[in-house]
Amino acid sequence: MSKRTDSNSYTIIFAVIMVLIVGSLLAFFASSLRPNIDENKRIEKQQNILYAMGVNENDESNANFVSTAVAEEEFNKYIKEQLVLEVNGNVVASQQNRAEYMAENNNQEPYLIDVKKQQANAKAGEIRKLPLFIGEKDGKTFYVAPIRGKGLWDAIWGYVAMDENMVVQGAYFDHKGETPGLGANIKQRFFMDDFYGEHLLTDAGVFKGITVAKGNNDPKNQEKTDYEVDAIAGATITGDGVSAMIKSDLKLYVPYFKSLKK
Task: Please classify residue 112 by burial: count the beta carbons closer than 10 Å to its beta carbon, then call 0-12 exposed, 13-18 middle and 19+ buried.
Answer: middle
Contacts of 56 (CB under 8 A, 6+ apart): 50, 63, 64, 65, 66
Please tell me the distance from the alpha carbon of residue 200 to that of residue 258, in angstroms, as a whole number. 13
Pinpoint the alpha helices (H) of 58-114. 68-78, 98-104
pTM for the whole thing?
0.85
Average pLDDT of span 184-209 = 96
Mean pLDDT of 82-108: 84
Mean pLDDT calculated for residue range 18-34: 77
CA distance 253 to 242: 17
Q: pLDDT for 37-60, tens place per residue?
A: 778 888 999 999 999 999 999 988
> In the predicted model, what is the mean pLDDT of the chain?
90
How far apart CA 172 and CA 160 sit, in angstroms, is 7
CA neighbor of 162 nearest in space, from 232, 86, 257? 257
User: What per-residue confidence (pLDDT) applies to 34?
Assistant: 65
